[in-house]
Amino acid sequence: MTDEEFEEFYAHSVKQLVGQVYLMTGDLHEAQDVVQEAFVRGWGRRARLSREAGPEAWIRTVAWRLAISRWRRRGRAAEAWHRREGGLPDAAPSPDPGTVALVAALRQLPERQRRVAVLHYVCDLTVAEVAAETGISAGTVKTHLSRARAALRPHLVSEEEHGV
């Protein structure tokens, strides 16, 4: 991929990728940070990225892995703080009240189910593509999708169905 092609790829896909990672992580600022970092890493290997090979999947996977690494570091830091100071540091502020119901519902899912659901329903990847991107079998992807749908159903039922 040339410099110009990479810049076009960035301009065309950054908002979509941030939105996808946001749904996976539930944290918009974190999603913006890790997607930007993934693009920086992608810039360094742009000659090896090609449109046919799915650069979006590569950026999304790198961003996801960065988010996981950050979660683990924060968890270890909070644990160390707790041992040393006897309490936890102040938590980051919660998302504003305008956060959509989908993000709140997705937060209820286990990490793997959330990622698989977002990749399939938001990123519009096939089961086989989700399996390839996540490194899990197609059968396991289907199981996670089924469980995610069942877990999300009560959180996303419309007010009309509740008689409101």
**Domain 100-164 sits in CATH 1.10.10.10:** yes
Q: Where are the domains of the chain?
A: 1-93, 100-164
- Which residues lie closer than 8 Å to 24 by C-beta, 6 or more apart? 31, 64, 67, 106, 114, 115, 118
According to the model, what pLDDT value does residue 138 have? 93
From residue 163, alpha-carbon distances to 3, 131, 159, 160 in Å are 55, 39, 6, 5
| pLDDT tens by residue, 6-38 | 888 899 889 989 988 888 887 888 889 999 999
From residue 110, alpha-carbon distances to 38, 63, 83, 87 in Å are 23, 18, 27, 26
pLDDT by position in tens, the chain (length 164): 788 888 888 998 899 899 888 888 878 888 899 999 999 998 888 877 776 567 888 888 888 888 888 777 666 665 666 666 665 555 555 554 434 577 777 888 888 888 898 888 888 889 998 998 889 999 999 999 999 988 888 876 654 455 44
Q: Give domain 1-93's CATH number out of 3.30.460.10, 2.30.40.10, 1.10.150.80, 1.10.1740.10.
A: 1.10.1740.10
**One fold for 1-93 and 100-164:** no
Full DSSP string of 5-56: HHHHHHHHHHHHHHHHHHHHHS-HHHHHHHHHHHHHHHHHTTTT--GGG-HH
According to the model, what pLDDT value does residue 128 have? 92
- Structure pTM? 0.54
* Distance separating alpha carbons of residues 81 and 71, to the nearest angstrom: 15
According to the model, what pLDDT value does residue 96 have? 46
Tokens of residue 20, six digits: 């996808």
* Distance separating alpha carbons of residues 155 and 157, to the nearest angstrom: 6
